[in-house]
Amino acid sequence: MSYFRITLIRSAIGLPRRSTDVLKALGLKKRMATVFHSVSPSVAGQIMKVKELVHVEECQYRLTKQEVHLERKPDPGYYIEKSCAEQRGELGGQ
């Protein structure tokens, strides 16, 4: 079964109530929030009404909240090659 992965990219502030109601029906409340819906014509029609505000991908399975968070987590910018204990062991053995 396929799913739509829908992420709200732009805010609905200042838009007509119809647009905000569609976002509520999809379950999107905050920017950068992600929801999963099964692929169906009704959901596709809702997406088309707010297509300027959302980013949509088709995926094979739903991700958990934690998996979505880990995808968005940035790279720490460094890697640990050796721990202090390993370095001390090397120095003590010489």
CATH code, 80: 3.30.1390.20
> Which three-class secondary structure state does DSSP give residue 3?
strand
Kindly indicate the confidence band of residue 12, based on its pLDDT and cuts at 50, 70 and 90. very high
Residues 6+ apart with CB under 8 A from 39: 1, 2, 3, 4, 58
Number of domains in the chain: 1
> Could you tell me what percent of the chain has a pLDDT over 90?
69
User: Quick one: average pLDDT of 67-75?
Assistant: 87
Determine the structural domain holding residue 75 and report its residue range: 3-93
Instruction: Give the residue from 52, 60, 5 showing the smallest Cα distance to 27.
Output: 5
Checking DSSP bridges between strand 54-59 and strand 3-8, what pairing results, if any? antiparallel
Asked whether 38 and 6 are in contact (CB, 8 A), the reply is no
Quote the pLDDT of residue 94. Answer: 57
